[in-house]
Chains A and B, each alone.
Chain A
Amino acid sequence: MTWLRRNLLLLASLGVLVYMLIPNLVVAIFSFNDPKGRYNYTWESFTLDAWSNPCGAQGICDSLGLSLRIGLIASVTATVLGSMIAFALGRYRFRARSTTNLLIFMPMATPEVVMGSSLLTLFLMMGIPAGSLAVTIAHIMFCISFVVVAVKARVATLDPRLEEAAADLGANPAQTFLRVTLPLAFPGILAGGLLAFSLSFDDYIITNFNASPSSITFPMYVWGAAQRGAPVQVNVIGTLMFLIALGVVLTGQVLASRRERARAA
């Protein structure tokens, strides 16, 4: 009984983690399923069919390629634009700071349906057709704010005296920025970029309002497939994405802790 009381918090925490991870486990298990009908919801028998042919379902890898392209363009653009804003906020005095903060906060406080539908009305009036271009513009828009938050948090922890020291040692502002500020802020920029990529890659609601039948992203493919029974390949790609991302993050963690240990030694 005392053991239970002492470990209640740990048990509750583990329970929540299980709740969060069970769907990923189910996705992985059902990537080996051999469904009888169109719907991959009940377990039938084990097969490696989907894994040996992940592009087997029509259109799935085209949509994946489109999502990767849009994700790359949108995250790189948003990271550049957002980091610039974050440096301005963290390192300079300027007018209209509160308006700037509001304009950055608002996209995060607006439901996606509102952003998606309002962009649709803008594109209608401007005559920009629905499609990959409209989707990319939209993705850059909603990624910027998240990049700003990530980079700003990192810039705020940097010691301004390092930049002053660089200036004292004769570096011009450009050199100081490139040799001191940028490398120090890089972890924040990288985190913001990865966040932007995953937001773009995973977006369905805003994309839905601005895509056309010729610009089916991966989430749109999954949504369409779900209506008539999603192919098992969807689970294969979901599991692959999970494993790749987990590998990247864990490698980063190991490298970071090794570097820290080396610094301490």
Chain B
Amino acid sequence: MTAAAPVAVAAPSPKPPRRTNWVPYALLAPGLLWLLVFFAVPMFTLGSQSLQEGTVETGFTFTGNVGIYADALERYWPHLLRSVGYAATATLFALLLAYPLAYYIAQKAGRWKNIMLVLVIAPFFTSFLIRTLAWRTILSDTGPVTEVAQALHLTDVLQVVGLTNNDSLLSSKFAVIAGLTYNFLPFMILPLFSALDRLDPRLVEAAGDLYASPYRAFRHVTWPLSLPGVVAGTLLTFIPATGDFINSRLLGNTQTVMIGQVIDSQFLRVLDYPLAAALSFILLLMILGLVAYYVNRAGTEELV
């Protein structure tokens, strides 16, 4: 009786009483429970694993060894920085490539809109590992792309900038960043498209009627209205790109190892679970920090 009283005070039952009050909870429960057990709880077991000591043979015991984090950071800070750098560069290139295409599909394509949208998601229909392997063929030393790049001295430019080490394109920073850009491009295009699709073209016309140059109309009308798409697209590109190790493994060299590759090999080959778990945790915190800062700066809510 005492337990029920506060509830009654907090929610005086309306007339007629809503019989269906339990329905949303019943709908939510199974899915949220699944996420709780297999997404949220693992974050705690990951944290716990990082603070254990031992080996796979003898088993691990919890010792609260916080020093592992300093150790992990000291050994692998270059990989962390590199991952963020590559992912940020790839995100920027993806934005530059995706914006014109998304704008064209949303505002200019007319009856070609649906066909072009299908073409945007079409690459997804082939496994992304197979497509990334295809880049090895495209960028191979004897392929036409490398030959043209060499003839135009683009390879020399890339070498001067430090993106490649010699006059081939494969197994370089350039190839890794190009691969990341390529692989996550649809994740940039689709949110940009949905933001630009809602843009009323009359607003841009109105800006023109009020003597705004095309540049000013873009800067003050189109761009601000597309910002939710920009924020969503950059997040959907940056987050998976930071943790990715497929591109760095298949298209890079020993100097382009990203943090995901380190976590993968520490967990599955070196079997140093505590170190791998600590690195995983650091990566998660780093990304959450960057994302929180970015979303705060961009000031966009309702990302889901």
Contact = CB atoms under 8 A, between A and B. Distances in A.
Interface residues of A, number: 87
A110 B129 contact: no
Contact of B122 (A118, A173, A246): A246
A27 B126 contact: yes
A100 B280 contact: no
Interface stretch (A13-21, A45-53, A158-166, A182-190): A13-21
B42 interface: yes
B28 A100 contact: yes
Interface stretch (B31-39, B70-78, B160-168): B31-39
Contacts of A115: 39, 42
B8 interface: no
Nearest to A137: B38
Interface string B100-142: 1101110010000011101111111111111111111110101
Contacts of A76: none
B125 A241 contact: yes
B282 to A, nearest CB: 10
B93 to A, nearest CB: 11
Contact of B283 (A23, A88, A113, A124): A113
B299 interface: no
A204 B129 contact: yes
B302 to A, nearest CB: 9
Interface in A105-143: 105-115, 117-122, 124-125, 137-138, 140-141
B86 interface: no
A208 B268 contact: yes
B30 to A, nearest CB: 5
Contact of B24 (A19, A26, A92, A101): A92
Interface magnitude class on chain B: 35 or more
B268 A16 contact: no
A107 B35 CA distance: 8
Contacts of B123: 20-21, 23-24
A183 B286 CA distance: 43
Nearest to A92: B24
Contacts of B48: 121, 125
A12 to B, nearest CB: 4
A198 B283 contact: no
Interface in A206-228: 208-209, 218-219, 222-223, 226
B137 A21 contact: no
Interface of B: 20, 23-25, 27-28, 30-32, 34-36, 38-43, 45-46, 48-49, 97-98, 100-101, 103-105, 108, 114-116, 118-138, 140, 142-143, 182, 185-186, 235-236, 239-240, 242-246, 250, 259-260, 263-264, 267-268, 273, 276-277, 280-281, 283-284, 287-288, 291, 303-304
Interface of A: 9-10, 12-13, 16-17, 19-24, 26-27, 30, 40-42, 81-82, 84-85, 87-88, 91-94, 100-101, 103-115, 117-122, 124-125, 137-138, 140-141, 144-145, 148-149, 152, 173, 198, 201-202, 204-205, 208-209, 218-219, 222-223, 226, 230, 234-235, 238-239, 241-242, 244-246, 249-250, 253, 257
13 contacts: A17-B119, A20-B182, A21-B122, A81-B30, A105-B303, A111-B284, A112-B243, A113-B260, A122-B45, A173-B20, A205-B244, A245-B122, A245-B124
